[in-house]
A and B are shown apart, each in its own frame.
Chain A
Amino acid sequence: MDSRALVAFGLIWGLLTIYALLAALDFGAGFYRWLAYRRGRDEAHTIADDFLTPVWEVVNVFLVLLVVGTIGFFPLSAAIFGTSLLLPFSLAVIVLTVRGVAIGFSHLGKHPSRPYETAIGIGGLLAPALLVSFVAASESGAITFDAGVVHVSQGLLWFSPLYLALALLAVVTTTHLSALLLYRRALLRSAAKAAAFYRRAALHSGLVSGALAMVLLLALRWVAPDHLSALIGLWPLLLAVALGWALDLWMLTHRNGARRGPLALFAGLSAWGLAIVLFGLTRLPWLLYGQVRLDEALTPPAMFTALIVTVAIGMLVLVPSLVLLYMVLLRPAEPTSAGTSAASERQRTRDRTAVTAGS
């Protein structure tokens, strides 16, 4: 296959992997924020809220970057997926809008308030289920692309076994990965009750996610057998995913997890990140399974070069900005004395809320 198509696909799928993990943490934190609010667990609510407010907007920009990158490198995907995914993606952006605005507004008035929390929580579950329709539709046979004309089967789009399995898996993995992160953050704050809450949530969702991954493989055997056999061909890496998943759950079975929490998070993120990478590698060379190859959809060479240069220069601007952000905002303040340190800590928390409430 064309090496430029491979480079482009590698970039896009790498972005997709990063987005999927970040979005899982983001959406899931929103879900737990709602759950903790409903159950009156203030500590757990604060932990989810503190993570959610600074990150959601950056994660959202990643999504836009992903869309822009996909269309820039593979313009034909605009024709294919733009047409076929009008409904699921329109619903997804509505959910993302309501959820984002709810996060933005939630710190301006009485906090927390029921409508905002509900929107953030339910939005966090619906968004991943709707967004994965992109991956499912490209393989489930819901789309046929014939002589430049796109046909969509709404039935297969929404009810193909692949989509149902993938949507369920995405929702459950979202709640699992974010619970792992919030568990670790609860441990960092020595918030015992919240830690127990998140540990249980991570354990249960982790077990279900393993079972659903098996269901996904079965569904794949049904709709895209080549994809499944390619995956099985990489069995040592699949084994690594399974081991990472098992390590993650094993670390969670210990009640006293001060040291095991970070390991569980690391194992969980690596296992699922690797799983997404493998899933992408083995679907090569197809943009639309069995119908359109990636190199057929690639942008003209001049645009390809221009996009690569843009990404490179963009990173030169972005990375120092992120470093500066870390230095100014995220690095812990050096306490001058006990009294002022407590006060400045309170001020910091308040400022952080103020920073992120609107953004």
Chain B
Amino acid sequence: MSSVVFGRMLMASSLAVHIVFAVTGIALPLLVSAAELLGIVRRDEHYTLMARRWTRTMLVLFAVGSVTGTIVGFQITLLWPGFMALAGKVIALPFAIEIFPFFVEAIFLAIYVYGWDRIRNRWLHWLSSLPIIVAAASSGLLITIVNAFMNSPAGFTLKNGQLADVDPIAAIFNPTMPDEIAHVLVTAYLCTGIALAGLAAFGLLRKRGSAAYHQRALRLGMAASAIASTLAIFTGDRSAKALALYQPEKLAAMEALFESKYAAPLTVGGVIDTAHQRVIGGIELPGLLSWLAFGRTDAQVRGLDTFAQSQWPPLLVHYTFDAMVGIGMWLGTLTLGFWALYFLRREWLSRRAFLWAIALSLPLGYVAMELGWMTTEIGRQPWIIYHIMTVAEAFTSAPYVPQLFFLFIALYAALSAGTVIVLRRYFRAHPLPEEVTGEASKAGNDGGLGVPSEPDTPPLPAPAARRERRVPDRRHTHRPTTRTPRKVESHG
């Protein structure tokens, strides 16, 4: 294999690892904030405890996300110097702006966590979560703007290979930017919401800790993912329409459309037979592709035949795209179905089969997200900047790329395994109490905000008590003891 293939695989694996942490880092602050708000408004200590436990996870993921983000930041320059030499002149601004939300996020995260017991006014403490939500979302979106620029470059002209008329603002507001950042943002909440709902479903199935807590976590995760999956239908649709206009060969490859057609059908699944330029066994839905691409069933959609075969993206994207859409539709059905049942047939929600369906969907949001990024990145091949610079032109001439690839793979394996092991071990040592009371969510048994080795933390529940299983109160008749609202004191 050539060096550039290893370079692509290295960049792909760095991004694949980073985006999981990045996307959770974008979405989790909103869910933590929502949980805390519910805890205050409803005086429900379950939600307060939830916010505290999720905050612990958020901190670890933020740390790992920031180091993997540093890797990505360096690798863009180290592996693709040709790209950055051009990007530095045209699209450097989002990179520079992104640093500041990142600082703000780190600072307010520290205030938020440390303020749990320092800021007496619960509303004031909750307010400190808002900058985290905004900063986390904006730093992710700013980086996505650079990707949108790679898909539909704007803000400069090329005269005899020389860059001219640089307009950094026009580069930011490139044609695919609004649709791409909307889709990335919305699906971030979908991935994270379904993951939290999945964890709660596992908690209910395995009867670990307070069932009332898990039910609330399930509802919150499901609420976020139901809203997000509904919005994702619209953002996804708009992204497809943007592709039809700005990257027609990517759309043609995703839909395995070999010939340009009026009233083009949508081919779902199937196996691509490249030699005969056809799809075997796919389901054809007449006119649907034209409608998805242009909003009319009779519109003409450009097929791969209008492009030289050397410019075709790998047709693998047909599978990754269909898999992403399939998962998206499953998650939409699951989350909207959950709420339909919640209002119509609530007792069905406690059926184990239904809980298993949610629990096993835990990683699916992330899988769909990885597939989506594979589709957009592989679908842009051979270009790194669409119709401006190829991947091979941008690639470094430096040696040792294959060796570094294996080194980084080992690092990512250790990092991913380490994160899971450390978080699991931590929450095993700080199990969820069987009953959530006002005391449980305070500083002592704080759901993991203290230091485990600290001698003055209350002893962990005896193993026997932990093993004792309660019948989960699925109708949640159990009302938590509400505590008197704290005296409002402004801090300091």
Contact = CB atoms under 8 A, between A and B. Distances in A.
Interface of A: 54, 57-58, 60-61, 63-65, 67-69, 71-72, 74-76, 78-87, 89-90, 92-94, 96-98, 100-101, 104-105, 107-111, 149-150, 152, 154, 299-300, 302-303, 306-307, 310-311, 313-314, 317-318, 321-322, 324-325, 327-329, 331, 333, 346-348, 350-359
Given A94-B407, A108-B422, A78 B96 contact: no
Interface string B63-74: 110111111011
Contacts of B489: none
A314 B77 CA distance: 23
Contacts of B89: 75, 299-300, 303
Nearest to A102: B418
The interface residues of chain B, by DSSP majority, are classed as: helix
A328 B111 contact: yes
Pick the 5 closest A-B CB pairs, nearest first: A358-B59, A75-B88, A82-B81, A78-B84, A104-B63
Interface residues of B, number: 86
A8 B75 CA distance: 23
B373 interface: no
Given A86-B78, A324-B111, A358 B60 contact: yes
A67 B72 CA distance: 12
The interface residues of chain A, by DSSP majority, are classed as: helix
Nearest to B63: A104
A343 B71 CA distance: 41
Given A86-B400, A314-B100, 15 more contacts: A64-B99, A65-B99, A68-B95, A68-B96, A72-B92, A78-B85, A79-B84, A79-B85, A83-B396, A105-B418, A302-B167, A307-B92, A313-B100, A324-B111, A359-B113
B451 A60 contact: no
B488 to A, nearest CB: 17
B426 interface: yes
B189 interface: no
B92 A63 contact: no
Contacts of B492: 327-328, 331
A61 B451 CA distance: 26
Given A86-B401, A303-B90, A93 B110 contact: no
B81, B167, B401, B422, most chain A CB atoms within 10 A: B81
Nearest to A324: B111
A90 to B, nearest CB: 5
Given A79-B85, A350-B454, A101 B107 contact: no
Given A318-B103, A350-B451, A329 B114 contact: yes
Nearest to B55: A358
B400 A101 contact: no
A109 B78 contact: no
B411 A98 contact: yes
A74 B58 CA distance: 35
Contacts of B415: 97, 101
Contacts of B92: 68, 71-72, 75, 299, 303, 307
